[in-house]
Each structure stands twice: as structure tokens, then as C-alpha cells.
Amino acid sequence: MTTPRNAGPDHERRDETVITSSFTVSVLAALGLALLYWQGGQPQLEGALLAVAAGGIAVGLITWSHGLMPNEPEAEEREDPGSTSSEREAFDEDLDFGQVLSRRRLLRRFLVASIAAMGAAFLFPLRSLGPRPTDRELDDTPWKFGTRLVTEAGAPVLAADVPADGLVTVFPEGAVNSENGQAVLMRVDTALLRPLPGREGWTPQGLIAYSKVCTHAGCPVGLYEASSHQLLCPCHQSTFDVLDGAKPVFGPAALRLPQLPLAVDPTGRVYATGGFSEPPGPANWNRKS
Ligand code: FES
């Protein structure tokens, strides 16, 4: 039979007490963490409880490993198949070892309970993710056929007022300051445009509009370099080619800015003929480009 390094009943009982106490503290800390999170949370306290929960498991396992696990290999000589009186005594001692084994089973249960409690506590943050948005919700902007473009002040946008080298931030009429409805409107030379298939009629008089919400992390794409026809997001310098369907040409954004189909009514006012080509913003994992 092999023996732990700190052999001796007193050592073992002391180590077992340390182990059960550590696992119990870990369980309580994990339950406290779950309860605190459920009540609304407090980051510093949550961090402290998490540290105690993990630390309790660590202390328990280390003590177990050092105090109760065998540390030295032993070989038993077995020359005589018969049992001597000393071997019989040793066998009796081994039978007494059953009590130790049952205590070890108890320790294992404490270990499982502490790991399970901490695992359960880790499940609570999943609530923070909220319900999974659907494409329909992401695409739910105020733009629809006939919605007029207005300025930040709510004034209708006239085609003649859009400067050739400038950028106008526009909103759907009736939804000024709409976060997912905001768009940038520019005027470009129609001969330079390279419309994507199906979008040939979306740019009357060279007027072209894209969502203002960056597809990288949602910053407003508010800078326009007319000489290169590029829109720039100031947050991480993603750059989009206005002439080529707002294709990203530089920076971390991987998706085009959604385009807004436009038309001009007989009075010269600009209106949308539908919603954005894709749901605006970065939270759109179904898009390929
Ligand atoms: S949010 Fe626009 S580049 Fe990052």
C-alpha cells in the first residue's frame, strides 16, 4: 500500500478539514455570485466572489494533492504465497482503510459540488445576451416606399440643395434622430457610378445614399472625401467606396454600407423607394458582403 507524504491520522484529518472547508467556501461564493448577479450585480463584488469560488477549489485540490495523495512508489515483495501473521495484520489495517475511503468519497462530492456551483454561476451571464434578434427586427427601420428624406432640422431635402462635393446627413420624415434610419446623402457624377446589379435606378441625378451606421462597430460614418469618393469612419478608419456600392476598401469593416434606393418627385423633393438594401449596423451576421 502507498502512503501520503504527510502520513498520519492527525495530518490526514487536518487536511480533510481544510479540503471540505475550501470546497464549502467555494460553493457558497459561487451561490453568492449567482444571487448577486440575479439581483442586478455589482462588478467589484462579483469579481471578489468569483475569485473566492475559484480559489476555494484551488486550495482544496492543492491540499488534496499534497496531503492525501500517495507521493512515493512502493513495491511489495511477494515471495511466499502463504500469509504470515504480519501480512494478516497488514490486511486488517487495509480493511480499516475503508473508513478513509468513505471520507475520500465525501471529499469527492464536495469537489463536484463546488465545481457544479461555479459552473451554474457562470450560466447566469448568458441572460445578459438577451433574446436573439431576428433579421426582421434588424431591418426594422422607418424607411419605406415614399418616405421623404429630411435634414436633422426636419426640413425636406431638395435634390437641387445637395452639393456635388458635400455630404448631407438625412433622416426619414417623421423619425428625425432615428438611430438605425440615419443616412448620408451625396451627389456624384452618374458616369462614374458602378451600381450593383439591381440598383441601377437607385441614384437619380447622381444622388446616392447609404446608412450612416458603420458596419464595423456602429460609429457614424460622417466624413466624405469627394475627390476619391470615399466615406470614412473616424472610429477605426474604415473607408468605403461610394461609387462601388460602399464597398469597404480600407480598415476593419468587412461589410458594405447598406444603400437606400432614392427617387425625386416632381417638386424636386428626394424620397426613398424602399428600405435599406440590408439591415444597417454591425449586428448582422447573415450578410456575406
Ligand atoms: S466603427 Fe467604423 S471603423 Fe470601427
Rounded to the nearest angstrom, the distance between the alpha carbon of 70 and the centre of ligand 1 is 57
Nearest CA to ligand 1 atom 4: 236
- Ligand 1 lined by 36 (C-beta under 6 Å): no
Best mutation site among 213, 216, 256, 257 for ligand 1, i.e. most ligand atoms within 8 A of its Cβ?
216
Residue 216, ligand 1, Cβ within 6 A? yes
Q: Is the pTM of this model over 0.75?
A: no
| Residue of minimum CA distance from atom 1 in ligand 1 | 217
* Euclidean distance between CA atoms 50 and 59, whole angstroms: 14
Integer distance in angstroms from the first to the last C-alpha of the chain?
A: 67
Task: Please tell me the distance between residue 221's alpha carbon and the centre of ligand 1 in angstroms.
Answer: 8
Q: Mind listing the pLDDT tens digit for each residue in 216-251?
A: 999 999 899 999 999 999 999 999 999 999 999 999
Q: Give me the percent of the chain exceeding a pLDDT of 90.
A: 47
- The region of weakest confidence among 4-8, 14-18, 128-132, 201-205 is 4-8
Ligand 1 pocket check for 233: Cβ under 6 Å: yes
Q: What is the pLDDT of residues 65-123, one digit of tens each?
A: 888 777 777 677 766 666 777 877 777 676 666 666 677 778 888 888 888 887 887 77
Cβ-based neighbours of 133, under 8 Å, separated by 6 or more: 283
83: left (phi over 0), alpha (psi -120 to 50) or beta: beta
Which one, of 206, 142, 149, 123, lies nearest residue 180 by Cα?
Answer: 142
Ligand 1 in contact with 223 (CB < 6 A)?
no
- Ligand 1: atom nearest CA of 251 is 3
